[in-house]
Amino acid sequence: MTSSIAIVTGASSGIGAATARRLAAEGFHVVAAARRADRLDELVKEIAAAGGEATALTCDVTSDESVAALAEAVSKLGRPVTVLVNNAGGARGLDPVERGSISDWQWMFDVNVLGTVRVTQAFLPALDASGAGTVVVLSSTAGLIVYEGGGGYAAAKHAQTAVAETLRLELSGRPIRVIEIDPGMVRTDEFGLTRFGGDTQKADAVYAGVAEPLVADDIADCVAWTVTRPHYVNIDRLIVRPIAQAAQHKVHRVF
């Protein structure tokens, strides 16, 4: 039986790469999409070595042309598309609103929000045609509550959450479910470095004293669980935090 396709954006590192590995292990043919071809090639080789199936396709979710090319390439694989994981995203800066960089805000909105919209629009026809499609939106707890210094990121993630909620209403009656996953503190190799312009010290400080922050595999596990439920089961929203993070503003640290 031909396995169906699961597309994962932002698959070159972190949660995206972990999700690609996990969905391949669940039996999907994973399309790993991101900008860095070398990282994707390594990931696909790793998945193949573990007995899974994957295809690497470069894509920049901020480009209409790149997303259209991704959809065209996937259509040529000759398999039904049943899962789309909108994982590509990120944060830049931790400045207050009064000093925030407009270019950083624009980048966060384009990647997190418009990237999700672009890719989802491109694959809704295929998901619909499969008869059992699933759209996963990787948002954040920052999409549910704000915090000082996080205005740009929280605004983008709130918008991404609004897209997921609206899409679920608009697709009612069609064979596509919409799942939103909202992680709290997840320690990955690149998220903090991207946010702080490569400053390792600032990136590490976010997790200082937190004994066990979440890791990428924890979120990949959540994605896999939600998309492998019977198709009539829709996990509308899954909020996942480490036990040390009781709320966005309350984190237990041990020094």
The position carrying tokens 């790793």 is: 46
**Superfamily assignment of 5-251 in CATH?**
NAD(P)-binding Rossmann-like Domain (3.40.50.720)
Distance CA 190, CA 87 (A): 14
pTM value > 0.75: yes
Check residue 202 and give its pLDDT.
87
Considering 147, 153, 207, 232, which one is annotated as catalytic?
Answer: 153
Segments making up each domain of the chain, as ranges: 5-251
Distance CA 153, CA 34 (A): 21
Q: Confirm whether 153 is a catalytic residue.
A: yes
Read off the amino acid at residue 40.
L
- Helix ranges (DSSP H) in 96-215: 102-108, 115-130, 151-170, 191-195, 200-205
Average pLDDT per 10 consecutive residues for the chain, totaling 255 residues: 88 97 98 97 98 98 98 98 97 94 97 98 98 98 95 97 98 98 92 84 89 96 98 98 93 93
Burial of 193 (0-12, 13-18, 19+ CB in 10 A): middle
Report the candidate in 119, 121, 221, 223 with the shortest Cα–Cα distance to residue 181: 223
